[in-house]
Amino acid sequence: MPSFEPTVAVVRLSPTKSANQNQLLESESAREHEAAESARFLSIAMGSAGEPECHLLLPRDLEVPAKADYERLDGDVTEVRRMLTSLIHKLYADC
């Protein structure tokens, strides 16, 4: 009759289970770090999105572009800022 050694089976399974848990924790940590780094990068991009607004003010004051052109460009900048804000909020929610 074959013998069964439960302690051998337990010893063999324990390192595998522990290794899998460690891999899972490392993966989650890396994902959180990546999301935080992306959110930080997008926050910098948000600050940079203010630059085109400033660059549009002088020509607007000098009435160089037509009013419709200025409004379209300003609307585009505003839309980009809204998209960045939405993405930043999503990333911070995932962190």
Coil/strand/helix, residue 1: coil
Confirm whether pTM is higher than 0.85. no
CB atoms within 10 A of CB 36: 14
Length of the chain: 95
Determine the average pLDDT of the residues in 73-81. Answer: 92
Q: What is the pLDDT of residues 42-75, one digit of tens each?
A: 888 888 888 888 888 888 888 887 888 889 999 9
What is the average pLDDT value for the chain, to the nearest integer? Answer: 75
| Cα distance between residue 44 and residue 51, in whole Å | 12
